[in-house]
């Protein structure tokens, strides 16, 4: 068997030029096609007849792209398990038979996080039995160690409370981070998407609830998730009509708009503060990327220690790493922890090229 990184991750037999399984491709098609989640860089531009993914991923991808596709949530020999990255994200477990008849169990994580946070349960590596682990290693350096989720959310909540007299602009990805920011902001302020009212018992704990405003793109993702989960998840943000005359509103926008001229003008005009949310907040340079006043390492990926614990829990025969610090993490697995590990480099075509 070979594992290669081209358009997506390909799992194929050496004696058969057709891929057996293709995961997270943009256009490449295999015998089985897996989409781990609905972020644009993991979904098809041109879809095959049938995709293996969660119902939530299919619904969100259609809402974001306008293109629907046939999907199944399982296939013969393929199981999906929660990956803890965004709503609907799944890791894939599947068996492939080598030319010598040996059957090996593969685990492809896609993007994943082992943390329980807000409304998501984390990926559970203790429940995974696999011979081969193919994992993303976005934060695969020891410098990327993040606070506990409870401490991190408490820090964000304290900052929101400390700045209850001015508008706040929060920046995160439209799918994933933006929904968690709405969740945390609602918990911090008692907001329901509009002006709050006192609790039924009259204690007035919601008297200072703050309105949560979002961009249209975030609103579209909210609605797709709400529909895909039959209303089990609901988010408080409402689309803003204007960002003039703000008082204490919390405005949540996509990360790629942080330095937009109209955003900078609104922040200055309304005397607002800007906060950036990403695992890259560990880097000293991160505040300058978005001209942020404050940053928090809120992420939908594992930190370094969580990546390492994932490998230890699954204890595979071989580990393939991709994305982020794939080479450094694979090298550390081999030299310090005794695992057979190799980074997946684009366009490698045979297993021997990993040595």
**Is residue 189 predicted with pLDDT exceeding 60?**
yes
CATH 3.60.15.10 positions along the chain are: 2-143+301-354
> For a pLDDT cut of 90, what percent of the chain falls above it?
72
Distances 67 to 22, 60, 166 between C-alpha atoms, Å? 20, 10, 40
**Over 90: is that where the pLDDT of 193 sits?**
no
More confident residue, 65 or 243: 243
| Residue with the two structure tokens 């410098």 | 143
Residue 29 CB neighbour total at 10 angstroms: 17
Give the span between the Cα atoms of 154 and 197, in whole angstroms: 23
- Residue 194's pLDDT band, with cuts at 50, 70 and 90, is very low
The answer to whether residues 122 and 116 touch, using CB atoms and an 8 Å cutoff, is yes
For residues 5 and 344, the answer to whether their CB atoms sit within 8 Å is yes
Backbone angles phi, psi at 156, to 5 degrees: -65, -45
The chain-wide mean pLDDT, for the chain, equals 89
Q: Does the pLDDT at position 352 exceed 90?
A: no
**CATH 3.40.50.12650 location in the chain:** 149-296
pLDDT at 206: 37
Q: What is the pLDDT of residue 62?
A: 85
Q: Hey, what are 339's tokens? A: 């695992």
Between 151 and 97, residue with greater pLDDT:
151
Residue 207's pLDDT is what?
42
What is the pLDDT, as a whole number, of residue 70?
86
Q: What is the pLDDT of residue 68?
A: 75
Tokens 């199981």 appear where?
79
* Averaged pLDDT, 292-307: 98
Say if residue 202's pLDDT is above 80: no
When pLDDT is averaged across residues 200-220 and rounded to a whole number, the result is 70
pLDDT tier for residue 49 given thresholds of 50, 70 and 90: confident
Q: Are 250 and 189 in contact (CB under 8 A)?
A: yes
Written as six digits, the tokens of 340 are 């057979």
SS (H, E, C) the chain: CEEEEECEEEEECCCCCCEEEEECCCCCCCCEEECCCCCHHHCCCCCCCEEECCHHHHHHHHHHHCCCCEEECCECCEEEEECCCCCCCEEEEEEEECCCCCEEEEEECCCCCCCCECCECCCCHHHCCCCEEEEEECCCCCCCCCCCHHHHHHHHHHHHHHCCCCCEEEECCCCCHHHHHHHHHHHHHCCCCCCCCCCCCCCCCCCCCCCEEECHHHHHHHHHHHHHCCCCCCCCCEECCCCCCCCCCEEEECHHHCCCHHHHHHHHHHCCEEEEECHHHHCCCHHHHHCCCEEECCCCCCCHHHHHHHHHHHCCCEEEEEEECHHHHHHHHHHHHCCEEEECCECCCCHHHHC
Residue 315, pLDDT above cutoff 60:
yes
Higher pLDDT, 26 or 36: 36
Bridge-partner residues for 34, per DSSP? 23, 52
CA gap 178, 237 in Å, rounded: 10
Write down the CATH number for the domain with range 2-143+301-354.
3.60.15.10
Pick the range with the lowest mean pLDDT from 144-158, 181-195, 239-253, 273-287: 181-195
> Minimal CA–CA distance to 253: which of 161, 307, 342, 177?
177
CATH (residue range 149-296): 3.40.50.12650
Please write the tens of the pLDDT for every residue from 52-103. Answer: 999 999 989 888 777 777 899 988 889 999 999 999 999 999 998 776 778 8
Residue 354: pLDDT band (50, 70, 90) is: very low
Query: Has residue 200 got a pLDDT over 60?
Result: no
CA 90 from chain centre, in angstroms, equals: 11
- pLDDT of 2: 85
Total count of residues recorded for the chain: 355
Read off the pLDDT of each residue in 113-119 and give the average, rounded to a whole number: 97
Distances (CA, A) of 135 to 112, 142, 323, 351: 9, 17, 9, 17
| Inter-residue contact 61 to 38 (CB < 8 Å) | yes
Neighbours of 27 (CB within 10 A): 12
């Amino acid at each position: 068997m070979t594992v290669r990184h081209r358009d997506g991750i390909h799992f194929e037999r050496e004696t058969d030029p057709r891929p057996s399984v293709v995961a997270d491709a943009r256009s490449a098609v295999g015998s089985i096609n897996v989409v781990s989640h609905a972020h644009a860089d993991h979904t098809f531009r041109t879809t095959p007849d049938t995709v293996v993914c969660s119902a939530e991923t299919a619904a969100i991808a259609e809402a974001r792209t306008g293109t629907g596709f046939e999907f199944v949530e399982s296939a013969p020999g393929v199981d999906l398990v929660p990956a803890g990255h965004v709503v609907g994200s799944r890791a894939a477990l599947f068996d492939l038979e080598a030319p010598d008849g040996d059957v090996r169990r593969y685990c492809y994580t896609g993007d994943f996080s082992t943390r329980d946070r807000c409304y998501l349960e984390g990926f559970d590596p203790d429940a995974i039995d696999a011979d081969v682990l193919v994992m993303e290693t976005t934060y695969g350096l020891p410098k990327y160690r993040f606070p506990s989720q409870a401490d991190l959310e408490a820090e964000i909540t304290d900052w929101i409370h400390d700045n209850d007299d001015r508008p706040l602009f929060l920046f995160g990805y439209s799918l994933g981070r933006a929904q968690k920011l709405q969740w945390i902001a609602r918990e911090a302020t008692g907001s329901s998407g509009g002006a709050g009212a006192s609790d039924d018992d009259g204690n007035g704990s919601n008297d200072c609830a703050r309105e949560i405003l979002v961009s249209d793109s975030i609103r579209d993702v909210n609605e797709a998730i709400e529909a895909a989960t039959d209303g089990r998840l609901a988010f408080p943000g409402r689309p803003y009509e204007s960002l003039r005359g703000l008082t204490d509103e919390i405005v949540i926008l996509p990360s790629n708009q942080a330095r937009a001229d109209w955003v900078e003008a609104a922040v200055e005009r309304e005397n607002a503060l800007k906060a950036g949310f990403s695992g890259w907040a560990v880097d000293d340079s991160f505040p300058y990327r978005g001209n942020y006043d404050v940053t928090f390492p809120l992420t939908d990926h594992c930190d370094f220690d969580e990546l390492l614990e994932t490998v230890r829990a699954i204890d595979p025969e071989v580990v393939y790493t991709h994305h982020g610090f794939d080479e450094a993490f694979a090298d550390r697995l081999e030299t310090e922890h005794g695992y057979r590990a190799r980074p997946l480099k684009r366009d490698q075509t045979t297993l021997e090229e990993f040595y």
